[in-house]
Amino acid sequence: MNKRILYINESLNTGSTGHIVEETASAAMKNGYECIVAHGARYVHASQIPHYAFSSRIEEYAHGLYSLLCNAQGLGSESATKRLIRFIQEWQPSLIHLHNIHGYYLNYPLLFSFLKTTDIPVVWTLHDCWAITGRCAYFTLSGCNQWQTQCRDCPAYSDYPRSLYRGNTQRNFILKEQAFTGLEHLSITTVSNWLNELVQQSFLRDYPCRTIYNGIDTETFRPTASELRKQWKAEDKVVILGVASQWTETKGWKEWIQLAQRLDKNRYTVVMVGVSKRQQQELPDHCVVISKTDNRTQLAQVYSAADIYVNLAHQEAFGLTLLEAMACGTPCISYDNTAIPETTTPETAVVLPDRDIDAVQREIAKAGRKWKQQCSGECRNHVLNKFNNIDKIQEYLRLYGELTAMRS
């Protein structure tokens, strides 16, 4: 029997899921597997893994427009998905590992209908809640629990995946339930116990589900010397850092504006990574703004130069940036939401009630620069011991071995 793994993900070697797929596939290849990453067209970086872009930018933009107007994410891209299915039939993988299948590049009813006709084992890693809802990737901020029974009237239809139309949410939920259930050889992994518990309350509850935390590349994310504090004119100041691939209300953008306005510019330097040109105008002039970057070496320098990493997100399926900061020896302040309590310790982070910006400000004043000096080693050791990417990849390799052995 062949040892072939097909990974399916929206991006190729960029963004959190793209890097996870790249590192996992690389390790699988070193362990004797043939691997190919099937991916969308818009988010693509150079990769060491053989790959196949089965969608085109035009198809994805058309799918995105269809989703925006008709609340129909995952229901376009029929031609692209048929190409993917033909590729699967020709290449005949021994295992398929799904990651983010939302993103306007794939038609999930078509793909799952095909998968049900095969005996190929499927691993599906859930990075958010999209698979169990009628449309949204997260529902904590809106306080909605319709997903536990049947989504109908979505209160967050303007959030990702953004739609101008709130209708069709019930249809979407029914289509997902029909598509995603009844696949005989599906195993689910989640990136946190918090997300695992939600799966157990959803229509996916009958599938085997295990938690495999995201791994941190501790060779890249490590204490790294640089001249950044000098460039920021912050040698004697407390550097407060926030990082996001896209700043939204979910990521705490409004609270960050408040915090930046409150902190004394003579004592603190606020550094924000991932801020758009439009958003830059909403921040005080004294903030250091760094545009979105996928350069992880640069990010490690930024994390290392900071004294405190602050996370004001209202919902996190894992909290990747917190662990990256800790790997670089930087302690964190975060809201006590969703998966954050299980990925932090009292020695490495202070977790606070959601939206309590006063408490965040008090903890920043209390910590100063001395906090990092006291706990930098503990922060890094926490990541090395519990979230090292080498260990997490080994968990996936063991799962691959279990599933392919059952098929042979």
Q: Could you tell me the CATH number of the domain that includes residue 53?
A: 3.40.50.2000
CB 38 within 8 A of CB 134: no
Say whether both 318 and 346 belong to one domain.
yes
Q: Which has the closest alpha carbon to 288: 300, 301, 274, 298?
A: 274
Say whether both 113 and 49 belong to one domain.
yes
Looking at residue 60, its amino acid is: E
In a domain, 223, yes or no: no
Strand order across the 268-273 sheet: 288-290, 268-273, 238-243, 308-311, 332-335, 349-352
Q: Which range marks the domain in which residue 140 is found?
A: 4-215+389-407
Q: Which has the closest alpha carbon to 269: 302, 226, 299?
A: 302
In a domain, 222, yes or no: no
The pLDDT assigned to 1 comes to: 64
Instruction: Give, to the nearest 10 degrees, the angle between helix 370-386 and helix 357-367.
Output: 110
Say whether both 208 and 160 belong to one domain.
yes
Say whether both 315 and 270 belong to one domain.
yes
Say whether both 194 and 48 belong to one domain.
yes
Say whether both 69 and 132 belong to one domain.
yes
Say whether both 201 and 264 belong to one domain.
no
The pLDDT assigned to 159 comes to: 86
In a domain, 153, yes or no: yes
Say whether both 283 and 397 belong to one domain.
no
Say whether both 241 and 128 belong to one domain.
no
Q: What is the token pair recorded at 375?
A: 């706990």
Say whether both 369 and 300 belong to one domain.
yes
In a domain, 301, yes or no: yes
The pLDDT assigned to 170 comes to: 96
Residue 182 makes CB contacts below 8 A (sequence gap 6+) with 116
CB 110 within 8 A of CB 135: no
In a domain, 183, yes or no: yes
The pLDDT assigned to 408 comes to: 60
In a domain, 221, yes or no: no
H or E, element range at 335: strand 332-335
Say whether both 142 and 263 belong to one domain.
no
Residue 389, classified by CB atoms within 10 Å of its CB into exposed (0-12), middle (13-18) or buried (19+), is buried
Which pTM was predicted? Answer: 0.95
Number of domains, the chain: 2
Across the chain, which has 408 residues, the per-10-residue mean pLDDT values are: 93 96 98 98 97 98 96 97 98 98 97 97 97 94 92 88 90 98 97 98 98 97 97 96 94 95 96 94 93 92 98 94 98 94 96 96 96 97 97 97 83
In a domain, 48, yes or no: yes
